[in-house]
Amino acid sequence: MNMAIKHRWAVAGLMLALLATFAIASAGVQQRFTSQDYTLQVTRLTQLPGVPWGMAWLNRHTLIISLRHGELLSLRLDKLSAQQPAWQKITGLPTIWARGQGGLLDVVKGPDGWFYFTYSKPQQGQGVTALAKAQLLQDELGKVSIAFWQELFVSDSASDTNRHYGSRIAFDKQHLYFSIGDRGVRENGQNTLNHAGSIVRLNLDGSIPSDNPFVGNSQFADAIYSYGHRNPQGLAYDELKQRLWAIEHGPRGGDELNLIEAGANYGWPITSHGKEYWGPLKVGEAETMQGIHSPSKVYVPSIAPGSLLLYQAKAFSQWQGNLFTGALKLQHLNRIVLDEQGNAIAEERLLTELNERIRALSVGPQGLLYFTTDSGNLYQLSPEN
């Protein structure tokens, strides 16, 4: 290697080191934004080494974060420092099919205290959406380890694309729901013999509830709870009103917020409010059709929703009962106001000036909102005192 090349490599290495130093040092930077109800304070907490896809709380100080490329992190929020990253890698994951939109996806703490994961699993040279659960143990020094990893459900959702895996998790008191995209094959939305393009419902041990809507019907896979979905990347269960919400990516235009009912068909690709990517033609036969559930809210143009959260805490008392979704394309935090019947009656687009693709959402122990972005940032959102 000649001296000129060595010099260029040295300069490149210095620049990377400076960028890393700036990323760590800039943690704690605060910005102010306004909303209809609050002056908001957004604090950048840390930079994470990848696309943070899911978040779950181990305890009041420790956040568990999944990275789409196949790593799991623990983050001590009481140990944030400008000198070193506060996150540690958690080992013990199975092989992850981290290609395209696949990878390590959601992580949620279940009502039984176990942590549940969705991820794309390699299967005969393709990826399928899978579900597992594990115990996460933290030692006296704060290190987190995986114990008792159990694979619960491997969906029938293989395709030759690496698109539209879903996949978010939600719970009622006894059951688990998780979403699976159509895997880039439109016909899967109405193909009820496989799990692609559906929301499945399971018992917490991965078995199929006997009261699932299609149990015993030879034209449907037993795990299916609802179908006709394109790519649902947000799920939220309202325990107070006992209803399940999902938000999904439409094609070019036509993202949908849906109130999920057992056995319902949500239309994809027969009905859609979107257009083809390659031209101005509408997708589907119509926007609405008899026998197909219409969305509670449609986004045209698409915002590209990356998550869904129902807020029920006290820190933002005026937002109780509101839904929140992170927007990936029209970069903002989307707040949806519902009436008592579950109709979406208003929305507000927050943090537009942040210019970030907002991905995962979580409510912290104090009722504050936390969110990640595809740039790797973790932020805290709080009302200004």
DSSP-assigned beta bridge partners for residue 257:
247, 297
Using DSSP, state whether 353 is helix, strand or coil.
helix
Alpha helices in the chain (DSSP H): 3-25
Give the Cα separation of 10 and 249 in Å (integer): 44
From its phi and psi, is residue 253 left (phi > 0), alpha (psi between -120 and 50) or beta? Answer: left
* Residue 229 known to be catalytic: no
Number of helices (H) and strands (E) in the chain: give both, helices first.
Answer: 1, 25
Structure tokens at 207: 């078995």
Structure tokens at 36: 């209809």
Residue identified by tokens 């199929």 is 208
Active-site residue identified among 164, 195, 229, 293: 164
Using DSSP, state whether 22 is helix, strand or coil.
helix
CB 116 within 8 A of CB 135: no
CB 246 within 8 A of CB 179: yes
Question: Is the torsion defined by CA of 225, 179, 122, 137 positive or negative?
Answer: negative
Give the Cα separation of 160 and 327 in Å (integer): 27
Give the Cα separation of 11 and 197 in Å (integer): 49
Q: Which amino acid is at 352?
A: T
Give the Cα separation of 257 and 336 in Å (integer): 10
CA distances from 51 to 144, 173, 174, 359 (A): 20, 30, 31, 9
Give the Cα separation of 372 and 188 in Å (integer): 30
- Catalytic residue ranges: 164
